[in-house]
Amino acid sequence: MVLDFLKKAYRKGLRKVNSSDWKSFCDKLKTSSVSAEEANAIGFWTIENLACHNPSRMQPRSLQEFEERIFPGAVHSELVEAVQFGMVSELQCENILEEFLENSSQAVLPDKMLSSLSDVWSRNIQGFRSIKVS
């Protein structure tokens, strides 16, 4: 949901993201399984991302073609997009990939990869949970 909003916002152009786009995103957060505190943290994180991150400056990963052969296509694409749109850093992405390479006897299941990505991103928004609007 967050990644979809970021992709839409960056493709549309940040100046063209309007209040109805933001309200729709916030409404989706409210109806998802996250708590109100988590929804606020995600909102603050998203605002900072839109203000500070520039996906056009991200370079393709040097091992991306190799990784695509090992990891399931759609899941690897989502991981690459998460890096491109600033949800996780390149180092965090490499750590996720290494986790799976170290356990090469275990097949890379899409749900497990997405779970690892979600866990890392959840840690990234931790600092935004304590923000209070006065």
pTM of the model: 0.79
Label each residue of 25-94 as H, E or C: HHHHHHHCCCCHHHHHHHHHHHHHHHHHCCHHHCCCCCCHHHHHHHCCHHHHHHHHHHHHCCCCCHHHHH
Would you say 53 and 82 are in contact if contact means Cβ atoms under 8 Å apart? no
124: region left, alpha or beta (phi > 0 left; psi from -120 to 50 alpha):
alpha
Each residue's pLDDT expressed in tens, for the chain with a length of 134 residues: 898 999 999 988 888 999 999 999 999 988 988 888 888 899 999 999 999 988 888 887 777 777 777 777 777 888 888 999 999 998 998 888 888 878 765 566 778 888 888 899 889 898 887 765 55
| Amino acid found at 12 | K
Cα-trace Rg, the chain: 16
